[in-house]
Amino acid sequence: MTAVAWIVALLAVGLGMMVLEVFVPSGGVLGFLSVVALGAGVATAFSEQGPWVGTVVLAATCVAAPLALAGAFRLFPHTPLGRRVLPPPPRPDDVVPDVDRRVLLRELVGRAGRATSDLLPWGSIEIDGVEHTALSEGGPITRGELIEAVGVQATALVVRAQALVLPAIRLWPDVPVPEPTSEPPAVPRQLEEALEAFDFDAIGREGGGGNTPPTTKLDSGARPKQS
């Protein structure tokens, strides 16, 4: 065997025993032998191939050893030994308390009920005859008010007041509704006659000489008298 073959073999044996130590616990024996094999391969490279080749082999060993360990630890949980040593992580539903209670409350989202106490914002409500702890959304809710479940928070329902939509009611269905018209309103006949009989020129003649216009008295259908 040439010196290069010995270097490659020692490095391969060292990395193999390092990975095997992860899967087959040996109390550190395989780990110690892997370090010896890797050290021997680097020393052979320096002594047989010179400092440049030895430096390259040392750098490659420093990079390959951590990568081999990382790959071994990544595969270890999927092995039979790894499944016994490292049990699978619990499911989220197994670690959350009151799972059945949460599932029941999620089924009530969208249902309507009635507040059995004042929600300020916490209180109690009743849906289908069953009382639940609830949290008001958007403001206080008084006792007896209709509510609607809109969500779940912890083990309580998130509710809001149910809006009441009243139908439009016509109080007098037989009375027709007047339609809007664009015609101007009619002027009373007596007002038209009074405006026609009023002498506006007399006011201009008498009030032209002073700042205060003379006082006149109008009678319906008669001309104003001068003061």
Q: What is the DSSP string of 142-188?
A: -TT-EEEEEEEETTEEEEEEPPP-PPP--S-TTSPPPPP--SPPPPP
Q: What pLDDT, on the 0 to 100 scale, is given for residue 168? A: 47
Neighbour count for residue 203 (Cβ, 10 Å): 14
**Burial of 134 per CB tally in 10 Å (0-12, 13-18, 19+):** buried
Residue ranges, the chain, pLDDT below 70: 1, 81-83, 85, 87-99, 163-192, 195, 198-227
Q: What pLDDT, on the 0 to 100 scale, is given for residue 210? A: 47
Q: How far apart are CA 101 and CA 153, in angstroms?
A: 11
Kindly report the average pLDDT of the chain as a whole number.
75
Q: How far apart are CA 4 and CA 7, in angstroms?
A: 5
Whether the pTM exceeds 0.85: the reply is no
Q: How far apart are CA 41 and CA 183, in angstroms?
A: 112
Instruction: State how far the alpha carbon of 162 is from the alpha carbons of 27, 87, 93, 146, 224, in Å.
Output: 69, 49, 32, 5, 71
Residues 103-139 have pLDDT tens digits of 788 888 888 899 999 988 889 999 988 888 898 887 8
Instruction: State how far the alpha carbon of 161 is from the alpha carbons of 124, 125, 136, 138, in Å.
Output: 13, 11, 8, 8
Residues 74-104 have pLDDT tens digits of 887 777 766 676 766 666 655 556 667 777 8
